[in-house]
Each structure stands twice: as C-alpha cells, then as structure tokens.
Amino acid sequence: MNNLERLNTILLVDDDDASNFLHSIFINKLDMDVNINSALNGQEAIDFILGKGQEKLELPCMVMLDLRMPVMDGWQFMDAYEELVPKKLKDQITIVLVTISDNKEDKERAVANQYIADFAQKPLSDETFKALIQKHYNLAAI
C-alpha cells in the first residue's frame, strides 16, 4: 500500500464554515481521491473520529485542527483525543494545527504535543495543503 492509498479522508475542524469550504476547494484542486469531512468544533471532531452517529467508521488520515472554536476548542480537543481515542487509531491520524494565532505559546505547546505533527498559519492555500500532504505522506508529486 502506498502512502496515497493511506490518505483517504481529511477532517477539517473549524467553526468557520467559510474556511472549511475554502479549504475543501484547495484540497480538491490537488486532484486526489480523498473524502473531505468537516466538524465545527472539537466535540464534533472527537465524535467523528470515534464513529459516533456513523454507520461505518470513516477514520480521517489527516485532521486539520483550528485552535479557537466554541463548545470545545483545539486544546480541549487534544486533551479529549489523548484520553478517548485508542492508540491504534491515533497511529493512523496526522494532526495539523491550523490557526491565525501567532502566539508563541501556542506554537511551543503544539511542538511539545506528541500527537500534533505540524503547525500551519492561516490563511491556508492550495500550496500549503500540497506541501503538508507531500511532507506527511512522502509524496513526490501530487
């Protein structure tokens, strides 16, 4: 199985519908065969990862996680993720923190978290997604 086969679902976690929509367009521009799902807060994202309300579990390979959200923010999501998500699922998920924050503490906290693979500054572009996917899925060209 090559890495592209492993990248079959991306979960966008952001309370801003416009950002989720725009990011979906950028991912689709890369012409990869991936499912794109979105969650408006961390709780919806945890429920999605654990398969709550789904007939068949669709585990995201990549989670693009915003920090500032209502209900459950990005850091609260990370706490719940660490506690609730089984290790065998965590091993299959790449989490990229996506934020407008240029807060040094957020970046340091992200780097220190074993489950956060990367940190990206908003606004994202198709080139940003391409670089992240190439980096984390060892793809030479997409």
Instruction: Render each residue's pLDDT in the chain as its tens digit; 142 residues.
Output: 334 446 789 999 999 999 999 999 988 888 888 899 999 999 999 999 998 877 777 889 999 999 989 999 999 999 999 999 999 999 999 999 998 877 888 888 888 999 999 988 888 888 888 889 888 887 655 5
Full residue range of the structural domain in which residue 39 is found: 3-101
Which three-class secondary structure state does DSSP give residue 1?
A: coil
Residue 131 lies in a domain: no
44-48: Cβ within 8 A, 24+ apart: 44/13, 44/71, 45/11, 45/13, 45/77, 46/72, 46/77, 46/80, 46/81, 46/84, 46/85, 48/11
Residue 35 in domain: yes
**What CATH number has the domain bearing residue 92?**
3.40.50.2300
Which stretch of DSSP H or E encloses residue 67?
Answer: none
In a domain, 42, yes or no: yes
Asked if residue 137 is part of any domain, the answer here is: no
Asked if residues 60 and 10 have their Cβ atoms less than 8 Å apart, the reply is yes
Q: How far apart are CA 106 and CA 119, in angstroms?
A: 9
Classify residue 129: in a domain, yes or no.
no
Q: Is residue 132 part of a domain?
A: no
pTM of the predicted protein model: 0.89
Q: Does residue 74 form part of some domain?
A: yes
- Residue 73 falls inside a structural domain: yes
Query: What is the C-alpha separation between 78 and 137, in angstroms, rounded?
Result: 22
For residue 121, give the H/E element and its range.
strand 116-121
Q: Is 43 helix (H, G, I), strand (E, B) or coil?
A: helix
